[in-house]
Amino acid sequence: MPAAVHLIDHPLVQHKLTLLRRKETSTAEFRRLLGELSMLMAYDVTRHLPLREVDIQTPVAPLRGRLIEGKKLVFVPVLRAGLGLLDGMLAVMPNARVGHIGLYRDEVTLKPVQYYLRLPEAMPERDAIVVDPMLATGNSAVAALDLVKAAGPRSLRFVCLVSCPEGLANLQAHHPEVPIHTAAIDARLDQRSYIVPGLGDAGDRYFGTKA
């Protein structure tokens, strides 16, 4: 049985996602909203991290508190749109390491083409979270997870802002053990393999470039 798909349906996430989707949302506003959404989503995505107990002294009394076990988290954005989710997640987890995967979609075959890969050392000791705003056909997500999985991380998760049934099915067919976190499961793909209703090309809207 495939791992769970976690729908992040918190009211703040859904509110900001609706604002992000609007055609008239400016580049500056799109960047701000995407950063805020990534911070909110990070709370759900890191829910699985183990904790350890520590003894501290507050200004009033001793306390046995809890801290995240180790500092072995790594975020892996899929270039270039994945960079839009990175800053917000690093704001919540500033000690995390960062890897990068460069993929672009061949517009004829719709297959991903790799042009860059850089991951931190000691991946078998790390919990890896691959991030990309859109899960459309799922081909890029599958390729990205292939590359990170080959490095042998301790655990592996995938985070996207908007997904669709076709992309979810493709990813789960190739990586059934990888949990997926998403803020929306939209209706379908169109003839160009864009998510409907979606939000357009996340990379172009974030960087202010034309599709």
Share of the chain above pLDDT 70, in %: 98
**Rounded-to-integer distance, Cα 27 and Cα 81, Å:** 13
In 5-154 the beta strands, taken as DSSP E runs, fall at 5-7, 51-57, 62-68, 73-79, 97-98, 100-105, 112-118, 127-131, 134-135
- Checking if the pLDDT of 54 tops 90, the result is yes
Query: Between 195 and 2, whose confidence is greater?
Result: 195
Looking at this protein, which amino acid is placed at residue 47? R
**Rounded-to-integer distance, Cα 176 and Cα 95, Å:** 29
- pLDDT for 59: 95
- pLDDT for 71: 65
**Rounded-to-integer distance, Cα 155 and Cα 50, Å:** 12
